[in-house]
A and B are shown apart, each in its own frame.
Chain A
Amino acid sequence: MTTEFDKPQQDRIDELIGRRLDSESMESDEDVCESFSPQQVRRASELQLVHALLTQLADRDQAAKERRIQNLMQKIDSQDSLTIKLYRIVKPLLRYGIAAAILIVFVILFTQIPTNTAMASMDKMIAAMDIAGDRTYSIKVEGNKKDRRPPLPPGQPPQPPQEPGERAGLDGATLYLQDSNKFVLYWNTPSGKTVINGSDGQTNWHIRPDKPVLVSNNLQAFRIPMPPELAAILTMDFKATLVHIRDNYKIKFLEDVTDSQKQNSSRTYLDAQKISSDFPGPKNIEIWADTQTGLLLRIEFADIHMEGDPSPKRLIIELKDQTPQPQNWFTRQAHHAQDAQVDFVPE
């Protein structure tokens, strides 16, 4: 048998460990921290080992295993090249005593970047929302990365462009934002008709072809074709979206990428993994932001489901323009005929 201590003691530790291992929450440890005897410590360790062996045996995700190794080797490559670059910069100074200290400080700073930088970048992005001007974002829906079709072989004719009905709902939509509470969203119905939702911060409005314009003082009014996974997280106020991500996801800093199209510009690339399955958002979100200003440039939500489509998709929102819009752009009058019928919907 496994025990040298009595059965109730063993049952107690088995139950505590079981509670932790089978809890939905990743942070369920606080209530089980107490003083344990050496036998209890060993029993707990044994059960944790069994759990780990089972988890490892059941892990058949070869792609994830391979990705883990590739990420590591890339990290080693990037650290090596950084060290070489730093060495080349500092080498001429090495003859002076201070240079060695500078090198050490730089190496420490750059190798400690990932975790702290991720949260700092998120905070910077959230703060940037308060001072961001007018922004135009495109929205598109694609197959998950692993489901995407391979590129066509040379010489093969490209696939015909999608008909309007094939890019409906949020796919192909355009979102205009101003401040934290004004938006205009152009999107298509499956029949290819354009629908406009918007808010001037005081009222929400909804413009449909050949129907009266609907207006409401309720700022939650009028349906936007949102995937269920995003209902709790994606609002037309991106600041709230970013706060949700910061509070409910583990954020990982991946890299700063130099923007090939803009001189002296770079993008911060973050990866967010949902911490608890209790939170109703997508498991994985990728985020790109302007490294200097913190402005949200692109956000990708993985494994979301569009209405009537069982296969998981990625919803991608990307900044296209920062040109200021006409003064009345965020009022409904800028988007419908002057003589259009307007119905006010009670709250």
Chain B
Amino acid sequence: MSEKGKKTEAKAVFEILVRENQAMLMTYLRAVVRDPSAIDDLFQETMLVVWQKLDEYDRSFAFGPWLRGIAAKLVMAHFRKAKSAMIILESETLDYLSSQLQHISERPGDTWDEKIAAMKQCIELLPEDYRQAINLRYFEQHSAQQVAAATKAAIETIKKRLQRARAHLLDCLKRKEVVMEMLT
């Protein structure tokens, strides 16, 4: 095969790799960065670095942690450049998230949605007003203010419902072993 042919084939394989890891990497980035356009930029930058350094990847180790390691460096650089800190800018946060995402990646299921299918069950188990707040906030993509207007509740009430709903979901995901109980 010619050099050009090899390169084309390598790109086709890489595209498959990107598709397979898109949801996991986006989840990782969404956990620590809020600005959607910054998340898209970081996704692209991470995958570009991965493409450039693919020769350095040691195939005896899992691909996910290596990918997230590259993303973590770019996330830290992003926050340094923006001069705005993450809520808790600790390397432990990124390490913790990476471990949890590796655990989820190894769960049964062909797609990311299948691996986190238990989340839907956990949402169904939420008290009605918490479930409504989560649906409007995430699935209808409303702001907390809009959720408050739609439910005719005070904004502070909605924020509290969302806060408690996320805590309930975390407990449920741990019970269902989607999220690992980790010791500090």
- Does B47 interact with chain A (Cβ within 8 Å)? yes
Within 8 A of A (CB), among B19-37: 19, 22-23, 26-32, 34-37
Determine how close the nearest CB of chain B comes to the CB of A29; give it in whole angstroms. 5
Could you say which residues of chain A place their CB within 8 Å of the CB of B96?
Answer: 41-42, 45-46
- Contact B92–A56 (Cβ < 8 Å): no
Q: Using a CB-CB cutoff of 8 Å, which residues 26-77 of chain B contact chain A? A: 26-32, 34-38, 40-41, 43-44, 47-48, 51
Interface string of A39-75 (1 = CB under 8 A from B): 1111011111111111111110000010011011101
In the complex, which residues of chain B have a beta carbon less than 8 angstroms from the beta carbon of A19? 159
Q: Which residues does chain A contribute within 8 Å of B174, judged by CB atoms?
A: 2
User: Which residues of the other chain, B, contact A14 by a CB distance below 8 angstroms?
Assistant: 163-164, 166-167
| B145 CB, nearest partner CB in chain A, Å | 7
Cross-interface CB contact of A57 among B18, B43, B119, cutoff 8 Å? B119
CB–CB B37/A250 < 8 A: yes
Pairwise interchain contact B166-A51, C-beta atoms closer than 8 A: yes
Are A50 and B48 in contact (CB-based, < 8 A)? Answer: no
Contacts of B37 in A (CB 8 A): 250, 252, 273, 275
Classify the interface of chain B: helix, strand, loop or mixed: helix
Point out the residues of chain A lying under 8 angstroms from B170, CB to CB: 2, 46-47, 49-50
The complex places the Cα of A55 from the Cα of B139 at a distance, in Å, of 8
B residues 135-177 with Cβ under 8 Å of A?
Answer: 137-139, 141, 143-145, 158-160, 162-164, 166-167, 169-171, 173-174
The 8 Å CB contact of A41, one of B23, B90, B159, B171, is B90
A79 on interface, CB distance cutoff 8 Å: yes
Tell me whether B182 is interfacial, beta carbon within 8 Å. Answer: yes
Task: List A87-143 residues whose CB lies under 8 Å from chain B.
Answer: 114-115
| A16 close to chain B: CB less than 8 A | yes
Expressed in whole angstroms, the Cα–Cα distance for A4 and B184 within the complex equals 9
Report yes or no: A22 in contact with B159, Cβ–Cβ below 8 A: yes
Contacts of A2 in B (CB 8 A): 167, 170-171, 174, 181
Q: Taking the nearest CB of chain A, how far is it from the CB of B12, in angstroms? A: 10
Tell me the minimal C-beta distance from B84 to chain A in angstroms. 5
Chain B residues closer than 8 Å to A47, beta-carbon distance = 166-167, 170
Contact B184 A42, beta carbon cutoff 8 Å: yes
**CB closest residue in chain A, given B44:** A72
A56: B residues at CB distance < 8 A:
23, 26-27, 30, 112, 116
A22–B119 alpha-carbon span in the complex (Å): 20
B7 surroundings in chain A (CB, below 8 A):
80
Q: What's the minimum C-beta distance from A32 to chain B, rounded to whole angstroms?
A: 5
Are A52 and B31 closer than 8 Å at their CB atoms? yes
**CB nearest neighbor in A for B33:** A26
Q: Determine the chain A residues whose CB is within 8 A of the CB of B184 once the complex forms.
A: 4, 38-39, 41-42
Assembly CA distance A248 to B62 (angstroms): 40
CB of A42 within 8 A of CB of B92, answer yes
Contact A73 B92 (CB under 8 A): no
- Whether a CB of chain B sits under 8 angstroms from the CB of A152 is no
Q: Does B11 contact A (CB under 8 A)?
A: yes
Pick the contact of B85 from A26, A30, A76, A252 — CB < 8 Å? A30
Report the Cα distance A250→B41, complex, angstroms. Answer: 11
Q: Which of A19, A72, A252 has the most CB of B within 10 A?
A: A72
What's the nearest-Cβ distance from chain A to residue B38, in Å? 7
Chain A positions within 8 Å of B40 at CB level: 68
A313 to chain B, nearest CB (A): 21
The listed residue (B22, B100, B162) touching A18 by CB distance below 8 A is: B162
Contact in complex: A58, B138 (CB < 8 Å):
yes
Q: How far is the CA of A56 from the CA of B36 in the complex (A)?
A: 12
Closest residue of chain B to A83, judged by CB? B52
B27/A18 in contact, CB under 8 A:
no
Most central of A42, A54, A114, A275 by chain B CB within 10 Å: A54
Known contacts: A48-B97, A51-B166, A55-B30. The answer to whether A41 contacts B88 by CB under 8 A is yes
Kindly state the separation between the CA atoms of A15 and B34 in the bound complex, as whole angstroms.
Answer: 17
Interface residue? B113 (CB, 8 A) = yes
Q: How far does the alpha carbon of A69 sit from the alpha carbon of B40 in the complex, in Å? A: 10
A2-B181, A57-B120 known; 5 other A-B pairs, CB under 8 Å? A17-B163, A20-B34, A22-B163, A115-B41, A250-B38
18 A-B pairs (CB sep. < 8 Å): A2-B171, A2-B174, A16-B87, A20-B34, A22-B137, A24-B145, A42-B96, A44-B87, A44-B88, A49-B97, A50-B166, A52-B27, A52-B30, A54-B138, A54-B169, A56-B26, A73-B18, A273-B36
